[in-house]
Structure 1
């Protein structure tokens, strides 16, 4: 069964991925700090979602990353 993700999880993961891209462009202390903050927000949201939905945390995290990085083509 597919995990029903909410828009907040997708938004947070996209922000984290964008912050990571910024680190790769310019690995300054500020860029690293921003990425760590965004990544922590994603992790916290995934944990809450997993607890509330009863889904395994690792499955939720994988589903979020897949949805953002490898979206299914629209029908």
Structure 2
């Protein structure tokens, strides 16, 4: 089963990844991503870890 990701999740992780690369990740950004991942996983019946892994792969390694 393919993991479905919302545009909101991708935008949040993209912002977090930019902050990580700039060594400026805030607690607020990290928390927003985590809460969105958990909510998305619960709403779609997917495992949280699977959603988080797919999200990070999509944003951080789009070539794969």
TM-score computed with the length of structure 1 as normaliser: 0.77
**Cα-to-partner distance string for 1:11-35 (whole Å, 9 max, x where unaligned):** 0001001111221xxxxxxx3xx52
The within-5 A match list for 1:7-26 is 7-23=7-23
Bigger RCO (CA 8 Å, 6+ sep): 2
Where do 5+ consecutive residues of structure 1 fail to align? 24-30
Where do 5+ consecutive residues of structure 2 fail to align? none
Q: Please, what is the CA RMSD of the aligned residues?
A: 1.4
The within-5 A match list for 1:1-75 is 1-23=1-23, 31=24, 34-72=25-63
Segments of 4+ moved more than 2 angstroms:
none
Q: Figure out how many residues of one structure are paired with residues of the other and give that number.
A: 64
Larger radius of gyration: 1
More helix by share: 1
